[in-house]
């Protein structure tokens, strides 16, 4: 692996210092090293691999101890990060003259680990609903987390992630823990609620908030919680949910006489053409929710036998406006892709649950830095720079620094070219 990191990225260091983290200097140094390497590395993100990216050799054990032994908590990084990112997004939206309408997208994600991975405390057997079907259910060995993504106009960022453990796993881990260090079981609803409460504490008064989630989270409990905060909900519904005591899929049959409303939505992928949908709406009360809502029955074509169902609590919105808002949930999927495929969220080799939580906090900081860089590229009527472009720019800056350092050293000692090259770009001799 090419040791391309000669010195810390100034832009990354400026970002981390702007967070004003209550960490000791050695902890800041380790944090900066790991985040820098996570963004530069294009391969597996184990601590051994990350340490090899530095010109000055790092000890992987020292990096591991940063997670296992160093006395810092997730909140010491998480709370300043969340506040900084939210305030920056609000500030940029205000400067651009954009309406302050906050989209909060909720979701959970499963990351797979090897079947033989048993000793890592955050890893367990989880239901894999993406690979399951009505005929066959699928289960995978891995980790599960719940996440909350915030979008204000074109500015968006990952607000937080929370690791989820099954109740059986929590009981199993607590048998080997002292009373003071036992884990508390929290459902996915509890984890989502905790993040939303933390978001509310940071928001200025009077902000318009829409909470977006898929049908797995569309419980009456979560909808009522959002309504109590004076927030609106736009979410997907399963076909067996009831409005006015009748299943929503039955309305698809009883409303055959009612004409469709034809709406056009821009594709989430800007390279794809706009799509047309045929919708009908039903207004009433969903089970266990007092406020009147409306349900959208959406079809790709009039004869579609498998419509999708959506709920909107803001009855002032048209069906087209509600579905456009629901499309703002897509960045959650982009987060999942970058966390797991680009930044190595699942590459941890740490055993304790607390150390794995810290690993998650550092990886989330890495993606927030890329999202922050993208925010700063805002220009009216132009798309923001993609996270992939921000990552490439970060990598190129390190390559440029490496080349400058090499050229400078060679100019100083032109007779020692081979020694200098071997120092910066070591090549192991092949035994013959």
pLDDT digits (tens, 9 = 90+) for 152-169: 999 999 999 999 999 999
Mean of pLDDT over the chain: 93
pLDDT of res. 16: 97
Q: For residue 81, which of 352, 299, 368 has the smallest C-alpha distance? A: 368
> What pLDDT, in 10s, does the model give residues 338-352?
999 999 999 999 999
d(CA 381, CA 221): 39
d(CA 301, CA 157): 34
pLDDT of res. 303: 82
d(CA 77, CA 124): 26
> What pLDDT, in 10s, does the model give residues 12-52?
999 999 999 999 999 999 999 999 999 999 989 999 999 99
Continuous segment of H or E residues that includes residue 265: strand 261-265
pLDDT of res. 135: 83
> What pLDDT, in 10s, does the model give residues 407-425?
888 888 887 888 877 777 7
pLDDT of res. 431: 52
The phi and psi torsions of 143 (rounded to 5 degrees) equal: -125, 150
pLDDT of res. 56: 85
Q: What is the mean pLDDT of residues 186-197?
A: 97
Report how far apart, in Å, the C-alpha atoms of 404 and of each of 164, 352, 397, 423 are: 46, 42, 11, 15
d(CA 326, CA 235): 7
- pLDDT-based confidence at residue 428 (cuts at 50, 70, 90): low
Q: What is the mean pLDDT of residues 326-349?
A: 95
Q: What is the mean pLDDT of residues 254-274?
A: 83
Task: Give the distance from CA 266 to its chain's centroid.
Answer: 23
> What pLDDT, in 10s, does the model give residues 212-257?
999 999 999 999 999 999 999 999 999 999 999 999 999 988 887 7
Percent pLDDT > 90 in the chain is 80
Residue 102 near residue 208 (C-beta atoms within 8 A): yes
Q: What is the mean pLDDT of residues 91-114?
A: 95
pLDDT of res. 32: 97
Continuous segment of H or E residues that includes residue 74: helix 74-95
- pLDDT-based confidence at residue 429 (cuts at 50, 70, 90): low
pLDDT of res. 375: 97
pLDDT of res. 1: 67
Q: Give me the domains of the chain, ranges plus CATH numbers.
A: 1-72+386-432 (no CATH), 73-385 (3.90.350.10)
pLDDT of res. 414: 83
Task: Give the distance from CA 71 to its chain's centroid.
Answer: 26
Q: What is the mean pLDDT of residues 294-318?
A: 93
- pLDDT-based confidence at residue 298 (cuts at 50, 70, 90): very high
- pLDDT-based confidence at residue 57 (cuts at 50, 70, 90): confident
């Amino acid at each position: 692996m090419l040791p391309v990191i000669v010195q810390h990225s100034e832009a990354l260091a400026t970002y981390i210092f702007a967070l004003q983290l209550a960490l000791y200097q050695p902890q800041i140094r380790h944090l900066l090293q790991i985040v820098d390497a996570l963004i530069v590395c294009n391969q597996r993100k184990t601590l051994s691999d990350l340490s090899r990216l530095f010109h000055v050799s790092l000890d992987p054990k020292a990096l591991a101890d940063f997670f296992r032994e160093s006395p810092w908590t997730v909140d010491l990084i998480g709370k300043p990060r969340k506040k900084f990112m939210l305030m920056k997004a609000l500030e940029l939206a205000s400067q651009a003259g954009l309406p302050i309408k906050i989209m909060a997208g909720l979701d959970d994600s499963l990351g797979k680990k090897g079947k033989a991975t048993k000793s890592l405390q955050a890893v367990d057997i989880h239901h894999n609903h993406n690979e399951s079907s009505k005929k066959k259910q699928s289960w995978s060995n891995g980790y599960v987390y719940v996440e909350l993504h915030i979008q204000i106009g074109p500015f968006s960022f990952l607000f937080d992630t929370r690791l989820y453990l099954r109740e059986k796993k929590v009981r199993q881990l607590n048998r080997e823990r002292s009373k003071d260090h036992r884990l508390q079981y929290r459902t996915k609803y509890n984890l989502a609620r905790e993040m939303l409460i933390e978001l509310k504490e940071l928001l200025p008064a009077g902000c318009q908030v829409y909470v977006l989630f898929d049908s797995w989270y569309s419980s009456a409990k979560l909808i009522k919680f959002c309504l109590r905060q004076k927030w609106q909900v736009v979410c997907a519904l399963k076909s067996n949910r009831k409005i006015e005591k009748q299943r929503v899929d039955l309305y698809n049959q009883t409303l055959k006489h009612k004409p469709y409303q034809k709406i056009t939505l821009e594709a989430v992928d800007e390279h794809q053409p706009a799509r047309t949908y045929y919708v009908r709406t039903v207004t009433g009360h969903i089970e266990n929710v007092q406020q009147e809502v409306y349900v959208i029955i959406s079809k790709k074509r009039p004869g579609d036998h498998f419509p999708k169902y959506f709920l909107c609590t803001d009855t002032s919105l048209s069906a087209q406006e509600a579905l456009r808002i629901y499309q703002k949930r897509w960045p959650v999927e982009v987060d999942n892709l970058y966390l797991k495929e680009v930044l190595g969220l699942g590459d941890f080799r740490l055993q304790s649950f607390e150390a794995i939580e810290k690993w998650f906090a550092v990886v989330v900081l890495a993606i927030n830095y890329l999202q922050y860089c993208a925010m700063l590229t805002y220009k009216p009527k132009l798309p923001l720079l993609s996270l992939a472009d921000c990552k490439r720019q970060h990598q190129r800056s390190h390559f440029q620094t490496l080349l400058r350092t090499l050229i400078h050293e060679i100019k100083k000692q032109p007779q020692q070219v081979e020694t200098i090259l071997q120092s910066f770009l070591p090549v192991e001799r092949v035994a013959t």
